[in-house]
Amino acid sequence: MLKEELLTQTQQSAIKRLKSLLICFLFLVLFIACNEKQSTIDQEIMGLMIDKYAVLPPPPPSINANDTIVDAFVADSLKSLKLKIGVWTKMQNTIGESALNSIPKEYLTLYKKSKKENIIEDATPLISRKGHTTFIVDTLQVKKSMDFKGFDLLFNISKIYNNTSRNLAIFELGISQSRLSGSSAVYCLKKDNGSWKVETVIETVIW
């Protein structure tokens, strides 16, 4: 009888340990799945922003005020250029405080300050449908010079904040031609029929 009781207690303990391990495993799977889904969303959004905003500024207007055809031709030509896009590795955990009062309420509720900064370790998944080349910049090298070497534009994006349905997103993006020429803005995006669209743009800094 005693042996049977001991065996039953051992079996119960084994079952409890198995349940605990199973619960931990399920939480781990869910955590990995959520991270992978967020990573995919980040890649989709960054690819969209690169294709939408990776354009060099046009040259100064022609001396001849009537010569608008050449200027329009140059502007269109710039849009078709295939650029080298440097991507800053850290996705900062804050967005411009000056923009908070202008952000639509449905997007403002998504933004929550976090101590954690996301890190972009590989730019390969950031696919440009327009043929732009993307890569992670050497941040130490970038800080050594006022002008960028080896790429045309630098994209510096904050952490991307989503709602639970993953169809709304808010973040800040800075685009620079050099350390002395660039601008940043807060972007509010909505996913409609499977595609992300920019709903609101709020400028934050120009340098």
Tens digits of per-residue pLDDT, 84-125?
999 998 888 778 777 888 999 999 999 876 667 778 777 777
pLDDT at 38: 58
Average pLDDT score over the chain? 79
Rounded distance between C-alpha atoms, residue 129 and residue 40, angstroms: 16
Q: Which residues pair with 197 in a beta bridge?
A: 190
Q: How far apart are CA 74 and CA 80, in angstroms?
A: 10
Show the CA angle centred on residue 132, arms to residues 71 and 116, nearest 5°.
Answer: 120
* Confidence class for position 37, pLDDT limits 50, 70, 90: low
Tell me the HSE value of 20 on the side-chain side, using a 13 A CA sphere: 6
Distance CA(158)–CA(116), nearest Å, equals 11
Give the pLDDT mean for 41-58: 88
Q: 1 vs 5, 12, 15, CA distance in Å?
A: 6, 17, 21
Which two three-digit tokens encode residue 10?
A: 């051992």
Render pLDDT for 150-204 as a digit per residue (tens, 0 to 9).
899 999 999 899 998 999 999 999 999 998 999 999 999 999 999 999 999 999 9
